[in-house]
């Protein structure tokens, strides 16, 4: 059963079409990456799914049931970690987590256990009595996560949870999300850090202008776009005939030589490096340094959404 099922969602802001018959299906147990440039509609889609925004058309089902603004029984099964830290400065770490957990869990003993688990989960045991203003940026992010997931949700939305944190905090946050998923929580993850999405997500959706442009696993998206590896070879002398031969390979999209370095962009191919070296040997060209890099999710993202700057 899909834990999230969105069909033909339309959202307008005046004359602006923010969501254009948007569709999304997320299976239970996934870590689902939602990517898009600024203004692509990611946050609008999430807010509509959570019924924080009204919408003009479409259907939204969560846990196999129709979602509405009054379905508090469904909302109790959802956790939200917003991009901006949303905690109370007047409360301590423990009091903040207890307050947000109390919105979902009424039993005092159960809530106390949940709060303790959340504090341990994000590693804030030594800071339970601190107020937010005394916490570093990384600790604040971890507190933000604890407040959003203390009630042990079945479905959790993470919106840019690692913005402006140090590498150690980022690693801790990503490990925590992975552990949450292993314990049974389905995760929807948005980020502009493509390496995080590659590491975490089972499937990835790329959207723009309120529509889905591509969806699949990391490997499937790379196949869809036809992006292959980039190869660089240091060579002192490359005959023009050798460059033309390289350019003629089925998997080679471009082969450029500046007098020192041969740069080759490939499409999908299984033996790109060996094919290139085979041609160099055929022309008695001795290579120096050889460097090859497989395509990244960032390459796929730019290929699909374009390279124009966004507001």
> Please, which residues have CB within 8 angstroms of residue 183's CB and are 6 or more apart in sequence?
none
| Mean pLDDT to the nearest integer, 153-166 | 92
Instruction: Assign domain 2-223 one CATH number from 3.30.565.60, 3.40.50.300, 3.30.830.10, 3.30.470.10.
Output: 3.40.50.300
At residue 165, the pLDDT reads 85
> Using one digit for the tens of pLDDT, what is the confidence trace for 246-267?
999 998 999 999 999 999 999 8
> Using one digit for the tens of pLDDT, what is the confidence trace for 206-220?
999 999 999 999 989
| DSSP assigned state of 105 | -
Whole-angstrom distance, CA of residue 113 vs CA of residue 21: 42
211-216 and 203-208 as β-strands: parallel, antiparallel, unpaired? Answer: antiparallel
Would you kindly state where each structural domain of the chain is located, as residue ranges?
Answer: 2-223, 228-294
Whole-angstrom distance, CA of residue 68 vs CA of residue 51: 6
> Using one digit for the tens of pLDDT, what is the confidence trace for 59-98?
999 999 999 999 999 999 999 999 899 999 999 999 999 9
At residue 270, the pLDDT reads 78
Whole-angstrom distance, CA of residue 273 vs CA of residue 266: 10
Closest CA to 268 of 223, 212, 203, 214: 223
Whole-angstrom distance, CA of residue 136 vs CA of residue 222: 38
Sole residue written with tokens 């140090």: 166
At residue 269, the pLDDT reads 76
228-294 carries CATH number 3.30.70.1340? yes
Q: At residue 199, does pLDDT exceed 80?
A: yes
Three-class DSSP category at 129: coil
| Token pair recorded at residue 257 | 């030589």
Whole-angstrom distance, CA of residue 295 vs CA of residue 267: 10
| DSSP assigned state of 287 | P
Q: Are 255 and 262 within 8 A, CB to CB?
A: yes
| Mean pLDDT to the nearest integer, 215-228 | 89
């Amino acid at each position: 059963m899909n834990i999230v099922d969105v069909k033909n969602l339309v959202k307008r802001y005046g004359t602006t079409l923010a969501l254009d018959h948007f569709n999304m299906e997320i299976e239970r147990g996934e870590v689902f990456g939602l990517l898009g440039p600024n203004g692509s509609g990611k946050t609008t889609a999430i807010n509509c799914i959570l019924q924080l925004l009204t919408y003009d058309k479409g259907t939204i089902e969560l846990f196999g049931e129709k979602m509405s603004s009054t379905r508090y029984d469904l909302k109790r099964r959802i956790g939200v970690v917003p991009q901006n830290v949303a905690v109370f400065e007047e409360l301590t770490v423990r009091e903040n987590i207890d307050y947000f957990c109390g919105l979902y869990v009424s039993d005092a003993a159960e809530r106390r256990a949940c709060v303790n688990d959340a504090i341990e989960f994000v590693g804030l045991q030594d800071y339970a009595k601190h107020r937010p203003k005394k916490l570093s940026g990384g600790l604040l992010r971890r507190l933000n996560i604890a407040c959003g997931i203390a009630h042990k949700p079945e479905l959790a939305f993470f919106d840019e949870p690692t913005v402006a944190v140090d590498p150690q905090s980022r690693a801790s946050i990503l490990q925590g999300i992975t552990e949450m998923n292993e314990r049974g929580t389905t995760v929807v993850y948005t980020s502009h850090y493509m390496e995080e999405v590659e590491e975490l997500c089972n499937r990835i959706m790329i959207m723009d202008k309120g529509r889905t442009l591509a969806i699949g696993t990391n490997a499937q998206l790379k196949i869809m776009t036809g992006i292959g590896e980039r190869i660089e070879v240091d060579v002192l002398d490359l005959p023009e005939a050798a460059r033309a031969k390289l350019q003629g390979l089925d998997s080679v999209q471009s082969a450029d030589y500046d007098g020192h370095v041969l740069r080759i962009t490939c499409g999908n191919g299984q033996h790109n490096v060996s094919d290139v070296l085979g041609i160099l040997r055929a022309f008695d060209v001795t290579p120096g340094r050889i460097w090859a890099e497989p395509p990244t999710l960032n390459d796929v993202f730019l290929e699909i959404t374009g390279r124009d700057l966004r507001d």
